[in-house]
């Protein structure tokens, strides 16, 4: 089994499935695209942290790539490893992923509900103030006109 295959095997433990058609290796560079299972983000975040921590003497780029497949917009993760000694860099990453004992985090927090805010917090009160659908809240000169008319 090659060093590249060992890396792909270890990445599968983070539920990262390499798309074989995307693997390109040559000139000190390995790039490939992979897909994650829906529930795998926590283990993938842990794996990315290990990958980026282990990079000494070589470069690794991870990025999210969107594309159309059978008319549906989907995404995958692209990994590019660049090094003078690619086999050694791949072996270093594989060893770092295999020996990692950190626990998986919940991932990055993207949304957080506002404490004490109700679902209707943006609803207009009394019909004149607050947020409202586009076109119903007077803005600019129209707001001045409404105010002059006693509204």
Domain boundaries, the chain: 3-99
Instruction: Please tell me the pTM assigned to this model.
Output: 0.65
The predicted pLDDT at position 91 comes to: 92
Q: Give the tens place of pLDDT for each residue, 6-19.
A: 999 988 887 789 99
With beta carbons less than 8 A apart as the criterion, state whether 77 and 34 touch.
yes
Q: Give the tens place of pLDDT for each residue, 13-68.
A: 877 899 999 999 999 999 999 998 877 787 888 888 888 888 888 999 999 999 88
Average pLDDT, the chain: 81
The predicted pLDDT at position 144 comes to: 73
- State the helix-helix crossing angle for 86-99 and 3-13, rounded to 10 degrees: 30
The architecture (CATH level 2) of 3-99 comes to: 2-Layer Sandwich (3.30)
> Mean pLDDT lowest for which of 21-30, 60-69, 72-81, 93-102?
93-102
Distance, C-alpha 34 to centroid of its chain:
13
CA distances from 27 to 2, 7, 24, 52, 124 (A): 17, 18, 10, 21, 62
Q: Which residues are CB-neighbours of 130 under 8 A, at least 6 positions away?
A: 122, 123, 124
Selection from 13-17, 89-93, 111-115 with the highest mean pLDDT? 89-93
With beta carbons less than 8 A apart as the criterion, state whether 90 and 80 touch.
no
Count of beta carbons in the 10 Å neighbourhood of residue 5: 12
């Amino acid at each position: 089994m090659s060093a590249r295959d060992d890396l792909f095997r270890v990445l599968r433990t983070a539920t990262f499935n390499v798309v074989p058609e995307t693997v390109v290796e040559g000139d000190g560079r390995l790039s490939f695209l992979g897909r994650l299972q829906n529930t795998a983000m926590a283990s993938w975040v842990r794996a990315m942290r290990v990958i980026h921590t282990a990079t000494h003497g070589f470069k690794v780029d991870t990025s999210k790539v969107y594309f159309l497949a059978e008319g549906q917009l989907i995404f995958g993760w692209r990994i590019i490893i660049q090094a003078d000694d690619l086999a050694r860099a791949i072996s270093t990453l594989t060893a770092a992923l295999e020996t990692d004992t950190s626990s998986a985090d919940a991932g990055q927090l993207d949304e957080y509900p506002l404490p004490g805010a109700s679902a209707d917090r943006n609803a207009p009160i009394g019909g004149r103030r607050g947020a409202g659908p586009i076109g119903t809240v007077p803005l600019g000169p129209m707001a001045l006109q409404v105010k002059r008319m006693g509204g």
